[in-house]
Structure 1
Amino acid sequence: QLVSPHQRFSVKFYLVGVLFVLFDIEAVFFFPWAILFRRLGMFGFIEMLLFILILGVGLLYVWKSGGLDWE
């Protein structure tokens, strides 16, 4: 018997990969912000809080819609 060289992967693998890349890039943005925290002042602090809030709402949406459930 011949076995097909192409295997089907679940979409969950791709979703987890995209979410990993998204939140990994988020971590890259935290490093320069932490270095320049004192110079940015209150504006930089509020801007980063807004950034974290937007990503948190996105994560909450994915979580509540079942995107992180592994079945």
Structure 2
Amino acid sequence: MTMMIMMMMMIMMLISVMMLINMYLSKKSEKEKEKSSPIECGMEPFETKMIPFSLQFFLIMIIFIIFDIEVAMIIPFPISNSSKSMFMMSMMTFLLILLLGFYHEWKKGALNWMK
């Protein structure tokens, strides 16, 4: 038990030292801050150069992540041997919720690119 506590203390000390080194090395001087700005000629930019982010790309990304998680949850289904009926019911409930969400997104027009 004491060996474990000593190891934890050593790990915490190592983490603290690494964080202090990182904070020391990551300090930037005023000249370096000017170099990292998008316009290096010494003038302040008149407007931001950021392009507005489309909400449709965000919705498509969320839908992709949800269905990616669905695939990751469905893959173990054929190799599961324990309590098939309970697993089957939970998987069907999960798929029903996903299909209802997909239907809702479809009806709200989130999947239409030509608006």
Question: Could you state the TM-score of these two structures normalised by the residue count of structure 1?
Answer: 0.82
Greater gyration radius: 2
Give the match for residue 59 of structure 1.
Answer: 102
Give the match for residue 70 of structure 1.
Answer: 113
Q: Does 1:12 align with 2:56?
A: yes
Q: State the distance in 1 between where 2:78 and 2:92 align.
A: 13
- 1:9 is displaced (CA, Å) by 2.4
Q: 1:29 pairs with 73, 96, 101, which one?
A: 73
Aligned partner letter, 1:34? P
Gaps of 5+ in 2: 1-45
- 1:33 is displaced (CA, Å) by 2.1
Over 6 Å off, 4+ runs: none
- 1:4 is displaced (CA, Å) by 4.7
- 1:59 is displaced (CA, Å) by 0.5
- 1:42 is displaced (CA, Å) by 1.7
Give CA deviations for 1:2-28 in whole Å, capped at 9, x if unaligned: 885311121101110111011101110
* Residue aligned with 2:75, SS: helix
Aligned partner letter, 1:15? L
More helix per residue: 1
